[in-house]
Amino acid sequence: MIRKNRLNKILIITSLLISIALILYSILRALETNIDLYLTPTQIESGEYNTDNNFKLGGMVKEDSLRQSESMEIEFTVTDFSKEVEVVYVGILPNLFKENSGVVASGYLDKENNVFIANEILAKHDETYMPIKIEVED
């Protein structure tokens, strides 16, 4: 009787360990495939990062760069104070979007025209939901 109990316990523990390993494996694999890189204009230009797929572009909206055409197309420049990237977006901008404050655009890089085509714009905010001012790094 005791032996049978022990065998049962061993079975339960090994099957638990195997399922934990499987679960962890699938979680990590899903993590890998669903990562959105977050790049600054300097990082994009450096060519060290994969910019073939969708990614997130982060930086500051350059002063006086916002152009709103009569269609719903919006263009602006994202800068990190050393390099710049042109962004094109069609749609409504979030309320926290402002020139000279932080922005995160997700989309892809159109390498022929060298513009970033955004399909979503998020104005960056901190935990108090106020627009963030990005500090200039020396």
- Interface residues with other proteins (CB under 8 A) are 8-9, 12, 16, 19, 23-24, 26-28, 30-31, 33-38, 56, 58, 68, 70-72, 90-93, 95-96, 126-130, 132, 135
CB 57 within 8 A of CB 102: no
Comparing CB distances to other proteins, the nearer of 74 and 77 is 74
Comparing CB distances to other proteins, the nearer of 90 and 114 is 90
- Rounded Cα–Cα distance for residues 43 and 57 (Å): 10
Name the minimum Å distance from CB 77 to other proteins: 19
Q: What number of other Cβ atoms are within 10 A of residue 41's Cβ? A: 22
List of residues 6+ apart from 97 with CB closer than 8 A: 61, 103, 121, 123
Comparing CB distances to other proteins, the nearer of 16 and 63 is 16
